[in-house]
């Protein structure tokens, strides 16, 4: 029987690439999305991957969403916590709602999804959880105290949960992407983008498929001895 995966934010950008990479491995994928029904429907028509709508920042919605996917597709073996938002601004311009939105969705979503899926993985003695962090959670970024805090929190969350899952065959890892050629990055003014690329030693933006290949490995049978790790895929922009 094929493994079953949920990829949050799985219908666009990096999430879409992850959904497709897992499908190529023979995994049955459920792609979660938050609000853009039209694009989610187009994604399903284009890929054949079923899309499910819920807010990952809502604890109860995650429990219900995981239960629905399990009932329709089978027990959840893999969770990729990719969903995230930005609400950028310097701290003096950042109101509490901007802070709480990012923490609730980016970091809270990891907890909510793991809380719903981890018990079944533990009982079946096999599971893969991959959390998408960020170079900005490792190095910080001007105007992103909320986003950097949430992504940094993801890296700590990963290491702690890995310790809980290890003896049950449940691995928990993170990937920290650098600047990737997605719609969000494409919206950055050209002069600013040029400065970003100039700081990347390989001299280019990353591709979503490069992140997806890292996720696919961490979700594979072969990665059973890898847990509590953060894989940085950033073109050498930040090394530590």
Catalytic residues: 147
Dmax over CA atoms of the chain, in Å, equals: 53
**C-alpha distances in Å from residue 73, one per residue of 125, 184, 198:** 19, 31, 45
Q: Which two tokens stand for residue 240?
A: 């530590």
Structure token pair of residue 181:
């050629």
φ and ψ at 48, to 5 degrees?
80, 5
Provide the 10 A C-beta neighbour count for residue 175: 26
**Cβ atoms 157, 111 nearer than 8 A:** yes
Q: Hey, is 111 helix, strand or coil?
A: helix
Closest CA to 227 of 104, 85, 121: 121
Output the CA torsion 178→182→184→186 (10° steps).
100
């Amino acid at each position: 029987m094929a493994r079953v995966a949920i990829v949050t934010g799985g219908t666009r950008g990096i999430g879409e690439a992850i959904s497709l990479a897992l499908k190529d491995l023979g995994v049955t994928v459920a792609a979660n999305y938050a609000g853009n029904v039209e694009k989610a429907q187009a994604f399903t028509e284009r890929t054949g991957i079923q899309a499910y709508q819920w807010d990952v920042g809502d604890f109860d919605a995650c429990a219900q969403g995981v239960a629905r996917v399990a009932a329709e597709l089978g027990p959840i073996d893999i969770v990729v916590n990719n969903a995230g938002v930005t609400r950028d601004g310097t701290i003096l311009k950042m109101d509490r709602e901007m802070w709480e939105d990012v923490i609730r969705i980016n970091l809270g979503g990891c907890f909510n999804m793991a809380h719903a899926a981890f018990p079944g993985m533990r009982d079946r003695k096999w599971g893969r959880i991959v959390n998408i962090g960020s170079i900005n959670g490792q190095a910080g970024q001007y105007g992103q105290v909320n986003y950097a805090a949430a992504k940094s929190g993801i890296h700590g969350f990963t290491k702690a949960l890995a310790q809980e899952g290890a003896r049950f065959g449940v691995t928990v890892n993170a990937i920290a992407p650098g600047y990737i050629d997605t719609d969000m990055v494409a919206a950055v003014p050209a002069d600013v983008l040029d400065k970003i690329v100039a700081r990347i030693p390989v001299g280019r933006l990353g591709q979503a498929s490069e992140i997806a290949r890292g996720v696919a490995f961490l979700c594979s049978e072969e990665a059973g001895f890898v847990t509590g790790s953060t894989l940085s895929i950033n073109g050498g922009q930040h090394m530590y």
